[in-house]
Amino acid sequence: MIVVLLGPPGAGKGTQAKVLSQKFGYAHISTGDILRKSVKDGSSVGKLAKTYMDKGELVPDNVVIKLVSDYIVKGHESGDFLLDGFPRTDQQARELDSELKKAQKKVDLVLYFKTSPEISIERLSGRRVCSKCGQNFHIKNMPSKEEGVCDACKGSLITRGDDNVETIKRRLVVYEKETGSLINYYKSQNVLEEVSGNLDVEELFMQIKRFFTKTKKA
Ligand code: AMP
């Protein structure tokens, strides 16, 4: 099954994707993670992407599509996968459909995490990320045992460059402008299911797990 997780920044898409991939064996493809990796590697694509990411703007479609198309092909060749943070524009959605169509596949399910802006801002501004293993924490909702230190690998916790209030607000505006229309796009394909991104991690997982069954890899 090919699943898209749709919703504003801070809706909990990445957190749920990690839980779903652990419990059900789905591959997790996050364009944000792929882009952050190219920034870290210092590639030319990464350098270009960083200029947009730092401002809370979307990286141009042609760059993102080129970057993820390999992952999408590998994802559908190996079976079930979750897309987290992609597509984010009409063009990306159409490119995804046409890429999948070549393999006689399609997006089977879109989970739309409807989330209030206040919750997004609260979650993202308090988020801390392990610089070594990428595990997420939250200063209030999910603090690490030792301040500034990852529970899992003892790496140091950092605040993502785009998790400051000003950039978060910009990301939310960009989401409404560029990504909001995908709700209707997928509604018209009859694949959209709305859930509440305002719920906490466990409550939301209880709501969405009914859509999934274990894959061979799980
Ligand atoms: P995320 O980790 O999903 O919040 O993404 C972080 C940033 O990466 C976004 O604010 C964008 O600048 C960029 N980004 C991630 N996915 C995409 C995408 N599908 N299209 C354009 N830009 C993206």
Ligand 1, atom 11: closest residue by C-alpha: 58
Q: Is 79 within 8 Å of 217 (Cβ atoms)?
A: yes
- The span from the CA of 76 to the CA of 105, in Å, is 8
Judge whether residue 218 has pLDDT over 60.
Answer: no
| Residue 48 reports pLDDT greater than 70 | yes
Using a 6 Å cutoff on CB, does residue 9 contact ligand 1?
yes
**Band of pLDDT at residue 8, cut at 50, 70 and 90:** very high
* 160 catalytically annotated: yes
Q: How far is the CA of 86 from the centre of ligand 1 (A)?
A: 8
Split at pLDDT 50, 70, 90, the class of 76 is: confident
Per-residue pLDDT tens over the stretch 153-182 = 999 999 999 999 999 999 999 999 999 999
pLDDT over threshold 70, residue 215: no
The contacts of residue 110 (CB under 8 Å, 6+ apart) are 3, 4, 5, 6, 182, 186, 191, 192, 193
Strand ranges in the chain using DSSP code E only, listed in sequence order: 2-6, 27-30, 81-84, 109-114, 127-130, 136-138, 157-158, 192-196
pTM of the model: 0.94
Sheet holding 81-84, edge to edge: 27-30, 81-84, 2-6, 109-114, 192-196
Q: By the 8 A CB rule, do 10 and 168 touch?
A: yes
Catalytic residue among 160, 169, 170, 209: 160
**CB-based contacts of 165: which residues, under 8 Å, 6+ apart?**
121, 125
Pocket mutation for ligand 1, best pick of 15, 36, 39, 59 (most atoms within 8 Å of C-beta): 59
Examine the residue annotation and report whether 88 is marked as an active-site residue of this protein: yes
Mean pLDDT of 69-83: 84
- 59 ligand 1 Cβ < 6 A: yes
Residue 41 pLDDT greater than 60, yes or no? yes
Q: Calculate the alpha carbon distances from 93 to 23, 61, 90, 98 in Å.
A: 27, 10, 5, 9
- Kindly tell me if the per-residue pLDDT of 38 is higher than 70: yes
Task: State whether the beta carbon of 120 lies less than 6 angstroms from ligand 1.
Answer: no
How confident is the prediction for the chain on average, in pLDDT? Answer: 94
The torsion angles phi and psi of 133, rounded to 5 degrees, stand at -110, -5
